[in-house]
Chains A and B, each alone.
Chain A
Amino acid sequence: GAVVSQHPSRVICKSGTSVKIECRSLDFQATTMFWYRQFPKKSLMLMATSNEGSKATYEQGVEKDKFLINHASLTLSTLTVTSAHPEDSSFYICSARGGSREGTYEQYFGPGTRLTVT
């Protein structure tokens, strides 16, 4: 299957600082990337959908000024958590849609980034 990487895998930061998470599709061009967060023992919650070269579409309740998403190329999307607070601590997972088959809607997930804000 297609490979998606995320960096960093784990980050601890202090309240008030900003953290950037990178998501890369390694062997395919991802026209669409998704960002999710997952709370313990809960399902994935879609935060935003980003298409290369255009602004991200945020889900209701997700602050776009706090979670900045940049999809600069067909292989890279970044999520920046600005002015992080302890309640932002979570597992953030990106996924990418693309692949070799035309019209496929399958998503491939990155390994996730565990953010802890102290």
Chain B
Amino acid sequence: RKEVEQDPGPFNVPEGATVAFNCTYSNSASQSFFWYRQDCRKEPKLLMSVYSSGNEDGRFTAQLNRASQYISLLIRDSKLSDSATYLCVVLHSGGYQKVTFGTGTKLQVIP
């Protein structure tokens, strides 16, 4: 089983739609969780950290479910500019801090 798993997609959704991505992780000792956004041939950019209580930033909502070991990202009212690959990132400590990326979920918002 991969340490961090994501559905690669692509998710093709119309403008204005709501779309949700999940990401599962295998290491129960994982400490911190993030969603990054990566545009084609560009570096990943931090979208939001994921807190235990869940957090919201505008149209984006992130949630963490430690019991089931997954995090989610919800995007409301999708815009064309939301088209990108969304990477789930998990950090855990094991002597030194280790960062693991999911393979990413590709989102394509269609006019």
Separation in Å of the B76 CB from the closest CB of chain A?
A: 23
Identity of the chain A residue whose Cβ is nearest the Cβ of B91 in the assembled complex: A105
The stretch that binds B, out of A14-22, A41-49, A61-69, A72-80, is: A41-49
Chain B residues near A105 (CB, 8 Å)?
31-32, 91, 97
Identity of the chain B residue whose Cβ is nearest the Cβ of A43 in the assembled complex: B103
Does A110 touch B at the CB level, under 8 Å?
yes
What residues make up the interface of B, taking CB atoms closer than 8 Å to A?
A: 31-32, 34, 36, 41-46, 49, 87, 89, 91, 96-104
Q: In the complex, A106→B45 CA distance in Å?
A: 11
Inter-subunit contact A111/B44 (CB<8 Å): no
Separation in Å of the B101 CB from the closest CB of chain A?
A: 5
Chain B residues near A42 (CB, 8 Å)?
103
Count of interface residues, chain A, beta-carbon cutoff 8 Å: 21
Inter-subunit contact A106/B49 (CB<8 Å): yes
Inter-subunit contact B103/A112 (CB<8 Å): no
| Total CB contacts across the A-B interface at under 8 A | 48
Chain B residues near A46 (CB, 8 Å)?
98-101
Inter-subunit contact B34/A106 (CB<8 Å): yes
Identity of the chain A residue whose Cβ is nearest the Cβ of B106 in the assembled complex: A41
What are 29 residue pairs bridging A and B, where the CB atoms are less than 8 Å apart in the complex?
A1-B46, A32-B97, A36-B101, A42-B103, A43-B87, A43-B102, A43-B103, A43-B104, A44-B87, A44-B101, A46-B98, A46-B99, A49-B96, A49-B97, A49-B98, A57-B96, A93-B43, A93-B44, A105-B31, A105-B97, A106-B34, A106-B49, A107-B34, A107-B99, A108-B46, A109-B43, A109-B44, A111-B43, A112-B43
Separation in Å of the B33 CB from the closest CB of chain A?
A: 10
The contact string, 1 if C-beta is below 8 Å from chain B, for chain A 18-52, is: 00000000000000101010000011111001000
Chain B residues near A49 (CB, 8 Å)?
96-99
Closest 5 A-B residue pairs measured CB to CB? A43-B103, A109-B43, A105-B32, A44-B101, A43-B101
Q: In the complex, A44→B90 CA distance in Å?
A: 13
Q: In the complex, A26→B64 CA distance in Å?
A: 32
Q: In the complex, A32→B96 CA distance in Å?
A: 11
Chain A residues near B44 (CB, 8 Å)?
44, 93, 109
